[in-house]
């Protein structure tokens, strides 16, 4: 039957696209459905980027797309500088001093997604896009998906990779822990007066966190500016010139005056974590399963770890002749992911609570703490570990 799959992935973004490619290696019939088609990014029109760690780079290399990403869409960071703007404390380090010449890359989300989809179809995967799902139904042994044009698809294994507001998650009424970070993230590209010198910079202010992520061009950075909700309503009314002035001040003119060089996107920030990652013949991956604060740039890396773990567990089951879609197999995946995700959620919470607070004495203590940690190799190793850990 043409529309019968071994695995069907809903959502062919970075996470769904990566998993779809790996599952083809099991010689399965794999389909991926997405509401949106993709095009590759243009020069500076794609400010939505992710800091990709070495582990995620290895995964994209295994899939065979890393070397295909056009150079203009890959920035590299070799240094990190985190500053507490109120208390004056700072952590600064470079990869070289820790034995890592590169701490990671800044890559356009659109470039990765586009290449993953291309590779998937080249290798025999079926991409169904643009397509909208009407219903999802559990049959005795399979899942049945009906599209809006009444096409019926069936699959033994259904994967939800349809992002933070997952349609599949809500259709299947999967419970989640959810908590607003009470901030809005603004994302854009800035042209800077001085070169970024391959440094990721972050400033903690009482009501916002500003991150500069170095792009391939030495005078361009992609930024994530997480602003407290009430303040953010004011920022939304400002012109690009007014925003640029504020950002030059908030970044202490470290890269001189900045100019807004692309559209500005905004998104409310929420912590989400599903109470269950699996069911019989079903699993959630990526933002459909969890979202965290972007302050440490770890969301997509966490999702790529879901992909790697799930793939290894499915492969092992297949190699041993076991039912890969069975709940006992999928339970191993859930066990492998929950702890990792909770650890990152708790770490992000501690950072945010510890820094974004307009309290004078707390600022002094913070600053003391940060100055001390500057000398503590251990904390630097923690940051480096997130950037450079490999399987
Ligand atoms: C401001 C900000 C900055 C960030 N920076 C970083 C960073 O530096 N480093 C990092 O690691 N992470 C970062 N993240 C997190 C990262 O962007 C996400 O974790 C990652 O993009 C999630 O990928 P995904 O494929 O799970 O979801 P998405 O990228 O949301 O993809 C979901 C896909 O599903 C499709 N879809 C949606 N609904 C349906 C439906 N009903 N049917 C079919 N298809 C559907 C969508 O079209 C899309 O293609 C950041 C997040 C934010 C908000």
User: What band does 369 get if pLDDT is binned at 50, 70 and 90?
Assistant: low
Q: Is 13 in the pocket of ligand 1 (CB under 6 A)?
A: yes
pTM above 0.85, yes or no: yes
pLDDT on residue 316: 98
Q: How far is the CA of 164 from the centre of ligand 1 (A)?
A: 7
pLDDT-wise least confident of 85-89, 170-174, 296-300: 85-89
Q: Quote the ligand 1 centre to 124 CA distance (angstroms).
A: 24
Q: Determine whether the shortest distance from the Cβ of 334 to ligand 1 is under 6 A.
A: no
Which atom number of ligand 1 is nearest to the Cα of residue 133? 42
Tell me the per-residue pLDDT of 96-112, one tens digit each, with 9 for 90 and over. Answer: 877 888 889 999 999 99
Contacts of 369 (CB under 8 A, 6+ apart): 89
Q: Tell how far the Cα of 243 is from the centroid of ligand 1, in angstroms.
A: 25
Ligand 1 atom closest to residue 17's alpha carbon, by position in its atom list: 25
Q: Choose one of 9, 13, 340 to mutate for the ligand 1 pocket test, by most ligand atoms within 8 angstroms of C-beta.
A: 13
In the prediction, which pLDDT does 371 show? 52
Q: Cα separations (Å) of 44 from 34, 37, 41?
A: 25, 20, 8
Among 200, 300, 310, residue to substitute to test ligand 1 (most atoms within 8 Å of Cβ): 300
| 162 CB near ligand 1 (under 6 Å) | yes
pLDDT surpasses 50 at 172: yes
Q: What does the pLDDT average to over 288-305?
A: 94
Give me ligand 1 centre to Cα 300, in Å. Answer: 7
User: Is residue 59 lining ligand 1, measured as CB closer than 6 Å?
Assistant: no
Residue 265 Cα to ligand 1 middle (Å): 14
Min mean pLDDT across 87-96, 209-218, 325-334, 355-364 is at 355-364
Mean pLDDT for all residues in the chain:
90
* pLDDT reported for residue 350: 74
| Distance from Cα 371 to the centre of ligand 1, integer Å | 35
Out of 34-48, 119-133, 227-241, least confident range: 34-48
Does 165 contact ligand 1 (Cβ within 6 A)? no
CB 167 near ligand 1, within 6 Å: yes
Counting atoms of ligand 1 from 1, which one is nearest the CA of 301?
Answer: 11
Whether 377 shows a pLDDT value over 50: the answer reads: no
CB of 17 closer than 6 angstroms to any ligand 1 atom = no
Query: What is the predicted pLDDT for the residue at 381?
Result: 60
- For the Cβ of 281 lying below 6 angstroms from any atom of ligand 1, the answer is no
Q: What is the pLDDT of residues 315-358, one digit of tens each?
A: 999 999 999 999 999 999 999 999 999 988 988 887 777 666 55
For residue 385, is pLDDT > 70? no
Query: How far apart are the CA of 240 and the centre of ligand 1, in A?
Result: 25
Closest protein CA for atom 4 of ligand 1: 294
Q: Is the CB of 15 under 6 A from ligand 1?
A: yes
Q: How far is the CA of 118 from the centre of ligand 1 (A)?
A: 18
Spell out the domains of the chain, with CATH numbers in brackets: 4-40+110-177+271-349 (3.50.50.60), 66-108+183-269+357-388 (3.30.9.10)
Question: How far away, in angstroms, is 43 Cα from ligand 1 center?
Answer: 21
What does the pLDDT average to over 36-46?
Answer: 72
| pLDDT score recorded for residue 372 | 43
Looking at ligand 1, which atom is closest to the CA of residue 287? 26
β-strands 278-279, 220-228 pairing: unpaired
Percentage of the chain modeled with pLDDT above 70 = 88
Write down the pLDDT at residue 51. Answer: 93
Does 185 have pLDDT greater than 60? yes
């Amino acid at each position: 039957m043409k529309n019968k799959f071994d695995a069907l992935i809903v959502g062919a973004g970075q996470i769904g696209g990566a998993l779809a490619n790996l599952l083809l290696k099991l010689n399965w019939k794999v389909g991926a459905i997405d509401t949106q088609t993709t095009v590759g990014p243009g020069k500076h029109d794609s400010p939505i980027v992710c800091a990709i760690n070495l582990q995620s780079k290895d995964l994209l290399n295994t899939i065979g797309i890393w070397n295909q990403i056009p150079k203009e869409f890959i920035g590299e960071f070799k240094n990190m500088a985190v500053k507490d703007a109120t208390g004056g404390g700072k952590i600064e380090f470079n990869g070289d001093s820790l034995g890592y010449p590169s701490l990671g890359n800044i890559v356009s989300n659109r470039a990765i997604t586009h290449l993953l989809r291309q590779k998937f179809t080249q290798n025999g995967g079926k991409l169904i896009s643009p397509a909208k799902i009407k219903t999802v139904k559990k049959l005795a042994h399979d899942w049945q998906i009906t599209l809006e044009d009444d096409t019926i698809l069936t699959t033994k294994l259904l994967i939800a990779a349809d992002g933070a507001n997952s349609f599949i998650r809500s259709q299947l009424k999967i419970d989640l822990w959810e908590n607003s970070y009470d901030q809005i993230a603004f994302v854009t590209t800035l042209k800077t007066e001085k070169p970024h010198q391959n440094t990721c910079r972050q400033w903690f202010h009482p009501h916002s966190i500003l991150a500069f992520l170095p792009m391939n061009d030495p005078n361009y950075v992609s930024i994530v500016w997480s602003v407290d909700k009430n303040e953010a309503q004011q920022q939304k009314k400002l012109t690009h010139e007014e925003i640029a002035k504020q950002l030059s001040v908030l970044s202490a003119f470290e890269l001189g005056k900045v100019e807004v060089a692309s559209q500005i996107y905004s998104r409310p920030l929420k912590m989400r974590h599903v109470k269950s990652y699996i069911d019989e013949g079903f699993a959630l991956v990526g933002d459909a399963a969890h979202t965290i604060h972007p302050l440490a740039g770890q969301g997509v890396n966490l999702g790529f770890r879901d992909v790697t773990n799930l793939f290894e567990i499915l492969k092992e089951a297949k190699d041993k002749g076991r039912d890969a879609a069975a709940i006992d197999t999928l339970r191993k995946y859930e066990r492998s992911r929950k702890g990792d995700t909770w650890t990152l959620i708790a770490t992000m919470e501690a950072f945010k609570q510890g820094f974004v607070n307009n309290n004078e004495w707390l600022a002094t203590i913070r600053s003391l703490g940060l100055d001390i940690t500057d000398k503590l190799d251990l904390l630097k190793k923690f940051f480096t570990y997130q950037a450079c850990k490999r399987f």
